[in-house]
Structure 1
Amino acid sequence: MSGLVGLDVVNALMDRVAAVELEHGPIATAHEGYGLLAEEVAELLDEIRHRDRVWRRIEEEAIDVAVVALRIAALARAHTADLWKDEGGHGIRCAQAC
């Protein structure tokens, strides 16, 4: 049993991200992302605390947490990138706090 993240886990994560984005679209706000993340972490904790621990369900919930975290990161990256562009989409120096 290894603690290393294998490509199978990364592939499962990316497949889940694609499915969630297709079904729900991108996260609209940081607050929405926080709500989704809190819900997924609570579900993961429930599975970890469950008396009859099922590792497959723990894996699924952990992947769901990672999916939401990646979607929040994508939202943050999009907003950061926008701060570096003018209205025409051309690169400029960041005039706001980046």
Structure 2
Amino acid sequence: MTGQSTLETVKVEGAQLLDQIKRLIHEGNVRRIIVKQDERVIAEFPLTFGVIGVVIAPVLAAVGAITALLADCTIEIERSGEAPAGETPGPTEEG
């Protein structure tokens, strides 16, 4: 691990939100997921490697509730290390 993180932005519709979050959680290199509508932060989920199994259920329950309320939203994904092959990383967010 290089200590760097990348920030990626993905636009989704409410119905796709839950599937997209599940996919991101299973990737394993995601440190934080932020769900936004326009520029307003709706939810933020920090994902720590050691507690992934513990946080999956509450995260998915919260995303399910959010999905019912949102039509279009943006997911910001903070990844540890390098972006997966084939994906272009977003701007690097510095602390």
Tell me which interval the TM-score lies in, with the shorter structure as reference length.
under 0.3
**Whose RCO is larger (CA < 8 A, sep 6+)?**
2
TM-score of the superposition, structure 1-length normalised? 0.25
Q: Which has the higher strand share?
A: 2
Q: Which has the larger radius of gyration?
A: 1
